[in-house]
A and B are shown apart, each in its own frame.
Chain A
Amino acid sequence: MALKSNAPDGDIQTAWTRHKFHNLKLVNPANRRKFKIIIVGSGLAGSSAAASLGEMGYNVDCFCVQDSPRRAHSIAAQGGINSSKNYPNDGDSVYRLFYDTVKGGDYRSRERNVYRLAEVSANIIDQCVAQGVPFAREYSGYLANRSFGGAQVSRTFYAKGQTGQQLLLGAYSALSRQIKAGTVTMHTRSEMLDLVKVDGTARGIITRDLKTGKVSRHAGDAVLLCTGGYGNVFYLSTNAMNSNATAAWRCHKKGAFFANPCYTQIHPTCIPVSGDHQSKLTLMSESLRNDGRVWVPKKKGDNRKAREIPENERFYYLEEKYPAFGNLVPRDVASRNAKNAYDDGLGVNGKEQVYLDFADAIKREGEDAIRAKYGNLFDMYQRITGESPYEMPMRIYPAVHYTMGGLWVDYNLQSTIPGLFVLGEANFSDHGANRLGASALMQGLADGYFVAPYTVSGYLGSTTLDKVTTDHPAFQEAEKDVDDKNTKLLSVNGKKSVDDFHRKLGKLMWNHCGMARNEEGLKKLITELAALREDFWKNVAVVGAKEDLNVTLEKAGRVADFIELGELMARDALNRKESCGGHFREESVDTGEFAGEAMRNDEDFAYVSAWEFQGVGNDQTLHKEELEFEHCKPTKRSYK
């Protein structure tokens, strides 16, 4: 199947405007209420889409697994949101934001999507301010900006270290208004377990009520998947405990192609794992690297306390290897170098961790100045580790943070299944092989507020859809599949807990498909994952009943999907014999000027890998969407 991006040709700067006028039909306001739109997920993308479509007059059903739409994991984003406003007058523009994002993505994203993202970024800030999002302000009363990784301009808007929270609460309030108005019906504690296709088109979903276990059918004219990323494949990640890939994976199994699954972003500054009991990882903001110095002891097995190790016995590896950027190298470079250090046995106390030291900064600026900048982060660190970063260096560790891959979508955010749209982190579209800081929030809201309302209308306005009710055999069949799967999980009666499998999956993925990958490891991983899958279905212990609140059953279903998704990630990583962005193949490194650094292969791999499901455990079919770079000519990323 040839993958068509459906992006308009011609001048990139007018592409979206022309597309909206020429290619996207409108739906008469009086007719909109006749269309039912199903939205799964209530994070930035889901809430903003539900609010906007509800406002337009569509009949919206929105689903989330949490007890309130306000709790989706977008809420945890700390840093900020990019926008090309150029308020600080430092030369920013739509074009520069577009260029930085494509470059930051290591030239593996679709130019036209990214351009549109940069274009609507200004509207997002306007919209959020009108909603009452309390962005940081200058004494003049105007909005403040700060700089973030991967850019030479200050274009990041922020609300303390809780930007994601404030943006989500903004979208949630808009959604709440629509719920009150009756245009949106909210279904909380509901998990989507399957997509229903009628005549090849997405026409509904099957959900399970997490409070009662009741499985139910929902029919609609379009389905919008806004379910976030799949970082929890690694068990330990900065994702929330309930973040999962089940909705996306079940859509994939129904025919939606999965694109670039191997692109995962590892964040270098997380709090290290303290033991086997660890359930998730906590991120410490990237901003800490502005003042903290990263180091490890030079001697292997040096178990002295940090303060007892003299200056000349410390290895400030980032400063030494990257004198130009020092501790501020991008996330992937910082993470990989930490891994190299502890792989060489230099990890602090022999563990997978390195120091982030503020002693020099405190000496230079005084403890009060550092407290003013990072006080809340230091407190959080101390709350979790019991150690004070004012007295001893922080211990940090790289952790899975974001997944750039996701369901393949065209320029309209429509997947390979007509009527199934994918928004936010759940799609693959805008960040290529690496996402820049403060861009995830931008994309979620761009998709929900400013792209999907047009493209979904375009779809509904130009497609003739038969009336479908939940009595249709396709619904019966999908519901039966869901029910059978749950019955099967409950009937295994094994001895190993769901978390045992999840932990094991995470370890395998982290070791072989984590920060560095190689052919041998990936092949081994594929075999081991197949074995793990079999073991899971033979030995998993799922207690409780189907038609009841049952958290074990919920987890089991998700882990089963994670295992299958892990296999696809491994296959994708194996196929992509180049290093780009978050995907580092040990075989593809520079041997010349930048020896040891990641090496992209534009000749053979400037494409999107979109995988078509072919049954559990089977090789999936690879479809390629070739990427063209008319505006951003691929160059080498160097931080030396």
Chain B
Amino acid sequence: MSTLNLTLKIWRQRSAKEKGSLETHKMDNVSTDMSFLEMLDILNDKLEREGKEPVIFDHDCREGICGMCSLFINGKPHGPERATTTCQLHMRSFKDGETITIEPWRSSAFPVVRDLMVDRSAFDRIIQAGGYTSAKTGSAPEANIIPVPKENADLAMDAATCIGCGACVASCKNASASLFTSAKVSHLALLPQGQVERTERAINMVNQMDEEGFGHCTNEGECEAACPKEITVENIARMNREFIKASAVSRG
């Protein structure tokens, strides 16, 4: 184990309405075994002891699955490591003497709540628009009645693995939510259970995504590289296919 001396530049912002700015903090003797969030815990512990307000950031499971942590670290969502959420990022990925800039996800659809915490309820509303099958509790048939080709089941799983963290939006030049939305559209489009509502789902989810104010997808693929679960842009193509087809045949 070794230690690092770091300079942190952290975005502080009281609310979406007020202007924010970067605040500098020196951190000495940071263990390389610490996780990035543990390093922020220590900073906050120090701030609290000094009677100052801690830096606000979202976090919960700290094992890379709940999707609550965010943070735009040195110009990259979830920091420098691939397929790693901020909570699983460890300080050994940084160098002694380094300056680390920490910003919130920036998107008009993700307004800042405080400091590094943003409101991602737009994602929930996209799911509410159609990210489900309308199977009522108790109405389901025997599970093995419809076989699903393994390849489709696996592809559906790959899409369904999305944790809804928003790194795709954060990384996108256009702040587009296409990767998120397409992951859910794809997941259900690939399964027989998702066929019945396929048309309305594609239309409603894309519409809601647009209502929330996310940008267009210009097929750069940064989202794919930013995604901690390595969801591919193949899903975006599938969503577009679904949407084009749905728009062509929908009577609504």
Contacts and interface: CB of A to CB of B under 8 A. Distances in A.
B49 A495 contact: yes
A126 B61 contact: no
Nearest to B194: A132
Given A76-B65, A129-B143, A143-B144, A66 B191 contact: no
Nearest to A73: B61
A75 interface: yes
Contact of A125 (B52, B143, B164): B143
A19 B45 CA distance: 53
A68 interface: yes
B34 A277 contact: yes
A453 to B, nearest CB: 7
Interface stretch (A173-181, A191-199, A388-396, A626-634): A173-181
A552 B62 contact: no
A226 interface: no
A499 B150 contact: no
B114 interface: yes
A283 interface: yes
Contacts of A159: 157, 160
Residue of B39, B65, B150, B161 with most chain A CB atoms under a 10 A cut-off:
B65
B60 A66 contact: yes
B28 to A, nearest CB: 14
Contacts of B131: 173, 176
Nearest to A279: B38
Given A75-B66, A543-B51, A386 B92 contact: yes
A134 B48 contact: no
Nearest to B50: A543
Contacts of A76: 61, 63, 65-66
A141 B113 CA distance: 45
Contacts of A169: 160
A541 B132 contact: no
B56 A134 contact: no
A71 B60 contact: yes
B187 interface: yes
B141 interface: yes
A123 to B, nearest CB: 7
A138 B128 contact: no
A96 interface: no
A544 B193 contact: no
A316 to B, nearest CB: 28
A127 B34 contact: no
Given A177-B134, A383-B81, A453-B137, A242 B60 contact: yes
A427 interface: no
Nearest to B163: A165
A68 B124 contact: yes
Nearest to B88: A383
A383 B127 contact: no
Interface in B105-141: 113-114, 117, 119-121, 123-124, 127-129, 131-141
B55 to A, nearest CB: 10
Contacts of A132: 132-133, 156, 160, 187-188, 191, 193-194
Nearest to B142: A126
A52 B135 CA distance: 10
Contact of A127 (B114, B138, B147): B138
Contacts of A69: 124
Contacts of A130: 133, 135, 139-141, 143, 193
B37 A551 contact: no
A211 B103 CA distance: 19
B42 interface: yes
Interface in A207-253: 211, 238, 240-242
A182 B85 CA distance: 34
Interface in B48-81: 48-49, 51-54, 56, 58-68, 81
Nearest to A126: B140
A279 B62 CA distance: 9
A51 to B, nearest CB: 7
A605 interface: no
A27 interface: no
Name the residue in B81, B121, B132 with the highest tally of chain A Cβ atoms < 10 Å from its Cβ. Answer: B132
A450 interface: yes
A277 B31 contact: yes
A453 B136 CA distance: 13
Nearest to B189: A132
B22 interface: no
A541 B48 contact: yes
Contacts of A188: 121, 124
B62 A240 contact: yes
B137 A51 contact: yes
A279 B161 contact: no
B23 interface: no
B176 interface: no
A558 to B, nearest CB: 13
Contact residues of B: prevailing secondary structure: loop
B8 interface: no
A373 interface: no
B53 A497 contact: no
Interface string A549-575: 101100000000000000000000000
A571 B217 CA distance: 59
Contacts of A166: 157, 160
Contact of A131 (B54, B114, B193): B193
Interface string B151-180: 001101100110110000000000000000
Contacts of A66: 60, 66, 68
A68 B164 contact: yes
A186 B84 CA distance: 30
B211 interface: no
Contact of B60 (A73, A139, A283, A498): A73
A541 B61 CA distance: 25
Contact of A499 (B45, B119, B153): B45
A166 B156 CA distance: 11
Contacts of B191: 132, 134
Contacts of B150: 137-139, 141
Contacts of A497: 45, 48-49
Interface in A316-333: none
B120 A68 contact: yes
A241 B119 CA distance: 19
Contact of A141 (B58, B62, B147, B194): B147
A51 B188 CA distance: 19
Given A76-B63, A240-B60, A551-B54, A449 B68 contact: no
B98 interface: no
B35 A73 contact: no
A127 B157 contact: no
Contacts of B81: 383
B188 to A, nearest CB: 5
Interface string A30-64: 00000000000000000010011001000000000
B137 A280 contact: no
A552 B61 contact: no
29 contacts: A66-B60, A71-B60, A76-B61, A85-B144, A87-B144, A127-B140, A130-B140, A132-B132, A134-B187, A134-B191, A139-B150, A140-B147, A162-B161, A165-B65, A165-B161, A166-B160, A173-B127, A173-B133, A174-B135, A176-B127, A240-B62, A274-B34, A275-B33, A277-B31, A383-B88, A497-B48, A498-B48, A543-B54, A549-B113
Closest A-B pairs by Cβ, 10 of them: A141-B147, A130-B140, A173-B132, A130-B135, A274-B33, A134-B157, A126-B140, A52-B137, A129-B143, A180-B128
